[in-house]
Structure 1
Amino acid sequence: MFDKLNLGELGKVFEDIQEKAKKLQEESENRIFTAKSGGGLVKVSINGKGEVVDIEIDDSLLEDKESLQILLISAVNDALKMVEDEKKRVAMSLMGDVNPFGQK
């Protein structure tokens, strides 16, 4: 089973993966994920680090605090889910590159 394992190349493989992981993480952190709720009455943008970077609220909601709160919570949760999905996508992408047996 391990006869094709090239230990000399294993270190290089892990270095390459680490470099790719760092690049993918930086790219993900710089992406902006935007979610809308209430048919676009509330829009929340979150970066790949999970930080809220923008919130847009339609003026019609300013007099309806309860609706505003519900729509804001919904948009924030949706945007955070997008960030988590991106993290999973990046992790799966990296896992696909791990192959210490030298086979493609």
Structure 2
Amino acid sequence: MFGDLMGMMGKLKETQQKVEDTKKRLNTVLVDEQSNDGKLKVTLTANREIKSIEVDESLLEDKEQLEDYLILTLNRAIEKATKINEAELGAVAKDGMPDIPGMDMFK
């Protein structure tokens, strides 16, 4: 019984390290998104950190339009980044979970 417990603890620690490594790697995964007409382009990491925003000159003339473009395009980019983030971290967590009776929520 103790061996099983120690094995599970070791596996959990190993999984925790893999999750941290995956989070670091996701800082290098870039997600690009742009408005439908290409006037606004944003780049985020898969950890949802904004890396760049490119704004077409024509959008600088209308503050309200620029704000709308930013909201729509950033939300789409964040949604893409979140899907990548959750898929990657979920796969690591699922793979590393020990078999604990009654704890099959990740399977």
TM-score by length of 2: 0.74
Q: Could you list the per-position Cα deviations for residues 28-64 of structure 1 after superposition, in whole angstroms to 9, with x for gaps in the alignment?
A: 1232222111321101112244332211111222223
Measure, in 1, the Cα distance between the counterparts of 2:97 and 2:36. Answer: 46
How many percent identity over aligned positions? 26
Aligned length: 99
Aligned to 1:46: 44
Please say if residues 38 and 71 of structure 1, whose CA atoms lie closer than 8 Å, have aligned partners that are also in contact. no
Counting only pairs closer than 5 Å after superposition, residues 59-78 of structure 1 correspond to structure 2 as: 59-78=57-76
Cα RMSD (Å) of the superposition?
2.4
Displacement over 3 Å in runs of 4+: none
Measure, in 2, the Cα distance between the counterparts of 1:31 and 1:100. Answer: 28
For structure 1, the 5+ residue unaligned runs are: none
